[in-house]
Amino acid sequence: MRIALQEAQRAAEENEVPVGCIIVLNDTIIGKGHNLTESLKDPTAHAEILAITAAARSLENWRLLNTTAYVTVEPCLMCTGALLLSRVKRVVYGTQDEKFGCLNSRYNLIRNLRFNHCFEITGGILADEAARLLKNFFQKKRKTR
């Protein structure tokens, strides 16, 4: 999670919402990313999507079986869907997202038993650090308006 937080810090330094994600297989990082929606002018350029894409390229397989995704903020609907479709085994997230979170806060998509694949969820890991990054970023944004 510390490396995901480093990715989130990179996002903040690039004037992006500070969210970072890494994908790990057997204690090896196979994909990482941070939000790039502003710089790429792409609403899908979320940290999780970029990390999933990098991991799939690394494995040369879209199925990310037996992997763990570490993400600093609870994934949104789009990213939760991508994590489901990529078949990750586990998602570990930092702080909750009360507006868009889809694992616990706003919605809980994973409890829908109709999915043919689900993943384990662990939340609240280094939550204070992840929340502080977000809070500082948005406070700075409001001051520069």
**So which residues are the catalytic ones?**
48
Query: Could you tell me which residues come within 8 angstroms of residue 101 by beta carbon, excluding any fewer than 6 positions away?
Result: 73, 74, 75, 76, 107
The reply, when asked if residue 118 is annotated as ligand binding, is no
The reply, when asked if residue 34 is annotated as ligand binding, is no
User: Long-range contacts made by residues 24-27, C-beta under 8 angstroms, separation at least 24?
Assistant: 24/67, 24/68, 24/69, 24/70, 25/55, 25/59, 25/64, 25/66, 25/67, 25/68, 26/66
Q: Which helix (H) or strand (E) holds 32?
A: strand 28-34
Q: List, as residue ranges, the binding site for Zn(2+).
A: 46, 76, 79
Q: List, as residue ranges, the binding site.
A: 46, 76, 79
